């Protein structure tokens, strides 16, 4: 989706959770994409009220939820956790403010749209006052798979993720850096433990809490959100989500079984012509997507395209994207851009 052009239309925009890792990225993306912000309304917890954040060279004071509602922004982008969203998003919506929420609070609510603009922005209407931003690992996968689903029909997806510590937040980044400093430099410093176990020189096969079926909440998010976004409850999805000691973005090994046969070159061409997708796939020169290459970029990178030789009509692929950008901030801003372009806000 193209960036917003400089335009006459201006608006007041609230960013809820503006001092957090994703909130800070929201501010960066709003500025980079020239979203027409007349006035920024940064919102955070009570302990952060009065602090300042910078946006396009201007400093703005952080305000409370109540004060943010009172100034009536046109749109509020939430990145403050599910509990906060459940409590406050309806209050913003009741005041006529369009909420784009980055938590899991509203994603599976049948009355709330769950949107990846390249795929299903057409579901949005002016009456949608709470719009859910999908899970980061789901977003990058469906951006890569949607054009293939339209052409061949997806029957089943098996996905294993390799997810960045930035998906957990600042505390996890501090843990990784603290462990790395101790390991490499011998520094003995205190650092928070975002995880039960060390993350440096380790992988943790658990993201979010375990559910009764033995899967984690993150894994079941991918299962349920994929079907809702792609508007097909017949797609079977199974996921294993893993935290690894990187910071550039999330990676996914995706095995997808189609209803219909495909040609590998046609798959490549479809992906190359799909909005938001970049194909990096040349085994002869060892070119393939990596988190360090996706860092601070908005695209979804796809490579290692190859036929699954164990069964027919099945493709293996490797999908990488910056989880703080397309997996969170950029997708939310793209939703706002679509609403503005269609005069829905």
179/176 Cα distance (integer angstroms): 5
274's torsion region: left (phi>0), alpha (psi -120 to 50) or beta? beta
pLDDT in tens, 96-132: 999 999 999 999 999 999 999 999 999 999 999 999 9
Q: Which residue has the tokens 């550039």?
A: 248
CATH 3.40.50.720 intervals, the chain:
11-134+328-341
**Domain 138-323 falls in which CATH fold?**
Dihydrodipicolinate Reductase; domain 2 (3.30.360)
Active site residues: 136, 250
Q: Which residues contact 147 (CB under 8 A, 6 or more apart)?
A: 270, 271, 273, 274, 277
Label residue 36 exposed, middle or buried (CB < 10 Å: 0-12, 13-18, 19+).
middle
Mean pLDDT value of segment 32-46: 95
Residue 6 — pLDDT band, cuts 50, 70, 90? very low
306/264 Cα distance (integer angstroms): 7
CATH 3.40.720.10 fits 11-134+328-341, yes or no: no
The answer to whether residue 8 scores a pLDDT higher than 60 is no
SS (H, E, C) the chain: CCCCCCCCCCEEEEEECCCCHHHHHHHHHHHHCCCCEEEEEEECCHHHCCCEEEECCEEEECECHHHHHHCCCCEEEECCCHHHHHHHHHHHHHCCCEEEECCCCCCCCCCCCECCHHHHHHHCCCCCCEEECCCHHHHHHHHHHHHHHHHHCEEEEEEEEEECHHHCCHHHHHHHHHHHHHHHHCCCCCCCCCCCCCCCCCCECCCCCECCCCCEHHHHHHHHHHHHHHCCCCCEEEEEEEECCCCCCEEEEEEEEECCCCCHHHHHHHHHCCCCEEECCEHHHCECCCHHHHCCCCCEEEEEEEECCCCCCEEEEEEEECCCHHHHHHHHHHHHHHHHHCCCC
pLDDT in tens, 218-277: 999 999 999 999 999 999 999 999 999 999 899 999 999 999 999 999 999 999 999 999
pLDDT in tens, 291-340: 999 999 999 999 999 999 999 999 999 999 999 999 999 999 999 999 99
11/344 Cα distance (integer angstroms): 13
pLDDT in tens, 131-176: 999 999 999 999 999 999 999 999 999 999 999 999 999 999 999 9
CATH 3.30.360.10 intervals, the chain:
138-323
- Res 37: pLDDT: 96
301/120 Cα distance (integer angstroms): 20
Residue 5 — pLDDT band, cuts 50, 70, 90? very low
Read off the tokens for 184. 């490499």
Q: What is the pTM of this model?
A: 0.94
């Amino acid at each position: 989706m193209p960036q917003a052009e400089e335009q006459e239309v201006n608006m007041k925009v609230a960013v809820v959770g503006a001092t957090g890792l994703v909130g800070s990225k929201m501010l960066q993306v709003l500025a980079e994409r020239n979203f027409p912000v007349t006035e920024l309304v940064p919102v955070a917890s009570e302990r952060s009220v009065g602090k300042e954040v910078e946006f396009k060279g201007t400093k703005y004071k952080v305000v409370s939820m109540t004060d943010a509602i009172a100034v009536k922004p046109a749109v509020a982008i939430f990145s403050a956790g599910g509990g906060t969203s459940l409590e406050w998003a309806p209050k913003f919506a009741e005041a006529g403010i369009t909420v784009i929420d980055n938590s899991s609070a509203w994603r599976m609510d049948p009355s709330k749209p769950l949107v990846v603009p390249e795929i299903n922005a057409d579901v949005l209407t002016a009456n949608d006052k709470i719009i859910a931003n999908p899970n980061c690992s789901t977003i990058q996968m469906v951006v890569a798979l949607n054009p293939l689903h339209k052409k061949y029909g997806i029957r089943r997806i098996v996905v294993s993720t390799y997810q960045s510590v930035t998906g957990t937040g600042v505390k996890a980044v501090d843990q990784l850096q603290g462990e790395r400093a101790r390991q490499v430099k011998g520094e003995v410093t205190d650092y928070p433990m975002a995880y039960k176990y060390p993350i440096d020189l380790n992988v943790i096969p658990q993201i979010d809490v375990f559910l009764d079926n033995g899967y984690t909440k993150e894994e079941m998010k991918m299962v349920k959100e994929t079907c809702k976004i792609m508007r097909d409850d017949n797609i079977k999805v199974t996921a294993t989500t893993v935290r690894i000691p990187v910071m550039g973005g999330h990676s996914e090994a995706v095995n997808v079984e189609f209803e219909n046969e495909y040609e590998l070159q046609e798959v490549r061409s479809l992906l190359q012509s799909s909005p938001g997708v970049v194909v990096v796939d040349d085994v002869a020169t060892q070119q393939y997507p990596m988190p360090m290459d996706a860092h601070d970029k908005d695209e979804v990178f796809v490579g290692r395209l190859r036929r699954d030789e164990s069964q027919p009509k099945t493709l293996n692929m490797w999908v990488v994207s910056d989880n703080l950008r397309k997996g969170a901030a950029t997708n939310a801003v793209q939703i706002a851009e679509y609403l503005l372009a269609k005069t829905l806000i």
